Amino acid sequence: MPAANQRPVDLLTGAFDLNQRRKFSVTNDAGDVVLDLYFKPITRADRKKATTLAGSDEALEISTQMLCQMAELEDGTKAFAAADAAKLQRELPERVLNELELFLFGLGGEAGIEEAKKD
């Protein structure tokens, strides 16, 4: 259908590929890659689902639920279950969890951490 005849909603939603994935390599303190995780773009529906699963308005709970919901392995299978959020928060260094979640939200790197602190 020519663009002139398309509805604006169809033009917008057709302009973005929600299957494109970004790769994040989790490294340990020695710099060795422990795990590669892949992330598709986040939609508003994903954010709403994570908020519901978190059962809280607390940003840290929601962001870890979002991580569990969105992280995939190379073959496209889910890396985590929703129930893994508590263990990740309890047993993973906060620095690592922060790096993962900032990457998920497109704020990776030191600049992203500094920008997130300003919010």
Segment 9-50, tens digit of pLDDT: 999 999 999 999 999 999 999 999 999 999 999 999 999 999
pTM assigned to the model? 0.81
**Which residues neighbour 112 within 8 Å (Cβ) at sequence distance 6 or greater?**
102, 103, 106
Query: What pLDDT does residue 114 have?
Result: 44
Query: What pLDDT does residue 109 have?
Result: 54
Domain-wise residue ranges, the chain? 20-118
- What whole-number distance in Å separates Cα of residue 69 and Cα of residue 67? 5
- What average pLDDT does the structure give for the chain? 88
CB atoms within 10 A of CB 112: 16
Of 102, 68, 66, the residue nearest 82 (C-alpha): 68
Domain 20-118 has CATH 3.50.50.60: no
The pLDDT-based confidence of 60 (bands split at 50, 70, 90) is: very high
Query: Phi/psi at 22 (nearest 5 deg)?
Result: -110, 145
Query: What pLDDT does residue 119 have?
Result: 42
Beta strands in the chain (DSSP E): 22-27, 33-39
The pLDDT-based confidence of 107 (bands split at 50, 70, 90) is: confident
Whether pLDDT at 110 is above 70: no
Residue 112, CA atoms < 13 Å, CB-side half-sphere: 12
